[in-house]
A and B are shown apart, each in its own frame.
Chain A
Amino acid sequence: MDRRKFVQFGVAAGGALLASQAFGQNAKPGAAPARPSPKRAVFPGGQVAVTTPNGVTLPLKEKDGLKIGHLVAMPVKHTFAPGLEGDCWGYNGRTPGPTIEVVEGDRVRIYVTNKLPEPTTVHWHGVILPNGMDGVSGLNQRPIKTGETFVYEFTFRHPGTYMYHPHFDEMTQMALGMMGMIVVHPKRPKGPPVDRDFVLMTHEWKITPGSRRPDPNEMTDFNVLTFNSKAFPGTEPLVVGRGERVRIRFGNLSAMDHHPIHFHGLTFETTWTDGGEIPAAARHPETTVLVPVGSTRVIEFVPDELGDWAFHCHMTHHVMNQMGHGMPVMVGANARKIDPRVQSLVPSYMTMGQTGMGDMAEMGMPVPKNSIPMGGGPGPFGSIDMGGMFTILKVRESPETADPKGWYTHPKGTQAERAEDALLKADGIDPDATFG
């Protein structure tokens, strides 16, 4: 089967998937795939197809040397994580929209149908193309009215990682989730080939607990932070093999925030920006990559430590789900001084946070419907008290057969545990040591 035929097969399979899942919106929120998709070397030079965790790739039909795709801008019911649904806008039934994956030199014809209640356009962010295809409403084209279908046609002349989003009422449309990633594989790839290629779109939202509609007017107080529009524990883990070369392509269309994405258990190099490939000589090792608003960053690494490794935005508020800050600091307060008086009026009241907030996720207090404040996810050693822009890189010996839902089993003696008294004594450690 040659590449072209393979792609056509992929289109058919993808079409079936679209029909059942993407448009139907009946995929279980946060459900991980049972198996990682097998590596598919389908692009020139043995390049593998990209995986969009929690997402899909846009099916492209080939005809007369053109790749033809269809994006439908539309309202979307989206689940950020179990317990939090949003009335969002997106493409083809999802946010972010399907990843557009092509090869350098491909000419595409992309139809855009507007099923939003207001006009829209699509801007191909970072892509160099004829000016009339750039999608800035009023400047390059007239807006696509509700019910209209426009056609964009251009050639991807430069390899790289790009994004797409509306350029009409940007504030509203992007705040509601309209965006997607574009991957243009090089015709002649340089450097070592990668075994895994992922795209992760970072985004931020304001959804007041109990409401459903993200607030486009918010300027600072974002409380849902996402990878591919999913907040942990809704994020799918990335399963990779030990010793495999892994590429992750980040894009950031957040309203206001850059995201320093930090990796545990490995170092990486930034290999591409949306401007192009970084020369090998200019690369340097990092554990945190800053993804600025409106930019893409591509990193590559080869993990050699097995395990479940966290990676996440390092802004601590970006790994919390729907935290508010309309309350005074409670740390250190004595609840017994407060609770009896308040409870005599409001029986269900309980002072919280006086010993810190780490345990909140497990308290299971009733909260507004459709909200995941303080929520984290379950881990093998109890609750993971983080949410938001947090996910897990699962490094396995046999990634194709590993259960992506399963947890890493630590070999004996490789896991932190409670220190035995005898050991403390032997090493002269006094747990009751005082200072000052």
Chain B
Amino acid sequence: MTTRPFFSFSALALALGLSAGCASASLPQHVGEVNDIFTARNRRDLAVSVPGEDEDWEKTAAEVPKLLGKPLDADGAVRIALAQNRELRAAFYEIGIARGRFVQAGLPPNPEIDLSVRRPNDPTQPLQLDIGIEYNLSGLLILPLRKGVAEAELAAERLRVAGQVLDMAYTTRAAFYTVQARQQELDLRDRALKAFQAGFAAAEELSRVGNLPDVDLATQRAAVESARVDVAEAENRLLDARETLNVALGLSGEQTRWSIEARLPDPPAEALVFERVEERAVASSFELQELDARMRVASKRAGLARTEGNLPHISGGFHGERDASVWEIGGHVTVGLPIFDRNQGTVLSARSEFGAQRERYLATATALRATVRTAQNRVESTGRRARHYREVVLPAREKALAETVLQYNAMQVSVFQVLDSQRQVTQTGLTYVETLLEYWNARAALDQILAGRHRGLALGPAGAPRTNLPSGGDSAAAGH
């Protein structure tokens, strides 16, 4: 008997029960999973709030307008960024991608039904019907292994995104500090300009009454105009800093009109004591945990490939044929012989991936320890320097100014020298602000490492930031 396939189809079995889990895995659930990680680590401040439903994705979290309604502080900025930053939101959706894969990996293979109709050439013969059902048995056997790989991937992905939450919080905090510092810098540059303007006013008046040569007037004038450029530059740096923060906060339009009041806080009076930082950094590192999870993925993948390679491909089925009025029923098993392709290549790849992840783990641990030591040193050094500026250098400069005023009262020095001494106070203020910014950045970096991330930290170059003297130069003192 010759038969010709009339049509065949593969029917999708809609396993409603299995797909139900997929429907509930929305954005809030991904966020919830990451929040759980932070809750377990006692970092509820990093909990991210998102709209309750995927459909509300455009809605702003309720706390954001409240936070924007008053002058921002660093914690508030972090809250806004966590609620509002869309890059972060995108990362949460990426958890959904991994979860989708996990769900997919857990679905059993579908049975295949084969139906064929044949019309014999002999018209007297009745229509011949073949019906068969085929099921991939090895696919079913391998399913727990596949599911294990996807689950490990999901876990790794969760850790990756949790790390991104930390990154977001850190970037926002650093951007906020920069705005504060730039605001303070602008104020101080403005003060320096005022000093030059006062000097110029004095020079102008003395010139008017014939007491000052033109060269001194011109020198004062040049100093004022240079200082004006310094102010403009500082203004631009502030605007840049605001925009960097706007990006982190995910704000645009009207929402970018936020203000800040607070100045960079002074460093704590006593140096902070950080103990066992290396241990703690290693223990909490999302990077290491993620690499660990990736190692598990690679190892599971290797196991899966090996099992797949060694397991003969088995499928079985039942078959019915209706010939005339009689059904003939039988079964069959197909066994693929794992002779040539035993997934050797895939196994090798997976094992190499495992090896690569293991080495990367060790390298990361080494880098992590170095980074945390760097951050700790930076916190201690900048803290010491900032305290020294605040407690020693600034008072010394102020004392020098007060003494200069006394010398002025005693008619030993000119108004220009008084203003010069005042600018030294301002200058020290500028250096203090830069040191303070470095300190808070280092603090944020150290906190970040201890919270679990050591990459992408703006530790910057070591050493005191060098702010230049106001452009007016150090000695525009006329009349001497």
Contact = CB atoms under 8 A, between A and B. Distances in A.
Are A and B interaction partners? yes
A48 interface: no
A17 interface: no
B418 A374 contact: no
A341 B411 contact: no
B206 A328 contact: yes
A206 B415 CA distance: 23
B316 to A, nearest CB: 93
Interface string B382-407: 00000000000000000001010111
A404 to B, nearest CB: 30
B410 A345 contact: no
Interface residues of A, number: 36
Nearest to A353: B411
Given A328-B212, A344-B194, A210 B403 contact: yes
Interface centre among A327, A332, A344, A368 (most CB of B within 10 A): A327
B480 interface: yes
B198 A341 contact: yes
B209 interface: yes
A278 interface: no
A275 interface: no
A383 interface: no
* Chain A interface helix/strand/loop/mixed: loop
A331 B211 contact: yes
A289 to B, nearest CB: 30
Interface string A308-324: 00000000000000111
A341 B194 contact: yes
A368 B407 contact: yes
Given A345-B195, A368-B407, A337 B204 contact: yes
Interface residues of B, number: 37
B45 interface: no
Given A333-B205, A346-B405, A348-B405, A338 B415 contact: yes
B414 A327 contact: yes
A342 B206 contact: no
Nearest to B412: A324
Given A345-B195, A348-B405, A368-B403, A330 B206 contact: yes
B479 interface: yes
Nearest to B205: A337
A165 B127 CA distance: 148
B410 A332 contact: no
Interface in B155-203: 191, 194-195, 197-198, 201-202
B422 interface: yes
Interface string B209-220: 111100010000
Contact of A322 (B202, B210, B408, B410): B410
A337 B201 contact: yes
Interface of B: 191, 194-195, 197-198, 201-202, 204-206, 208-212, 216, 401, 403, 405-419, 422, 478-480
6 contacts: A322-B412, A327-B479, A328-B480, A342-B419, A346-B422, A368-B406
Interface of A: 208-210, 322-324, 326-334, 337-338, 341-342, 344-346, 348-349, 351-353, 357, 360, 365-368, 371, 373-374
Pairs A-B, 4 closest by C-beta atoms: A328-B479, A324-B412, A327-B414, A332-B209
